[in-house]
Amino acid sequence: MSKTNAARRLDQLGIAYEMRDYAVDPDDLSAESVAAKIGLRPEQTFKTLVARGNPHGICFAVIPANSELDLKALAAATGNKKIDLVPLKEVQPLTGYIRGGVTALAAKKDYPVFVEESIHSVEVIAVSAGVRGTQLLLSPADYVKATGATVAKVGKV
């Protein structure tokens, strides 16, 4: 397994992590199925979503696999009047990553990151390594440090 830009970013920051590969099913890119394939619970496997707010623009929302994004809570956390997920066709041009491989680590631009507060209820989390088929496992505190994330209530089960 080769190093991804996201893994190299963690190396630069001196953050310990484990890379875990899994078989990709193009018909099921759900975070829940990724969690099962890498042997972690859904609440430990975080998906990275891309949203656009008015007036503050693009941000990442990082929530557990078993939850959905609470747009009202994200708008409040980001100081936006309104916020929506960006259309799938805009995700790669904005982040440099394809669906199923989006990560806030080493994205094309350093957009603000908002991570679900439940991140601190687990000891290890998994996030995409920036490609489909590989997850990075690391401590929640190290993820927050690496991304500069704001921890807030942004997901709902």
Domains of the chain: 5-156 (3.90.960.10)
pLDDT for res 34? 97
What's the rounded Cα separation, in Å, for the pair 137 and 30?
17
Q: Do 21 and 101 form a contact (C-beta atoms < 8 A)? A: no
pLDDT for res 82? 96
From first to last of its 157 residues, the chain has per-residue pLDDT tens of 679 999 999 999 999 999 999 999 999 999 999 999 999 999 999 999 999 999 999 999 999 999 999 999 999 999 999 999 999 999 999 999 999 999 999 999 999 999 999 999 999 999 999 999 999 999 999 999 999 999 999 999 8
pLDDT for res 1? 61
Structure tokens at 90: 């805009």
Q: Do 116 and 150 form a contact (C-beta atoms < 8 A)? A: no
CB neighbour list of residue 67: distance below 8 Å, 6 or more residues apart: 116, 118, 155, 156, 157
CB neighbour list of residue 82: distance below 8 Å, 6 or more residues apart: 53, 54, 75
pLDDT for res 157? 80
Q: What is the pTM of this model?
A: 0.96
pLDDT for res 103? 98
Structure tokens at 76: 């409040």
Q: Indicate the helix (H) or strand (E) that contains 18.
A: strand 18-21
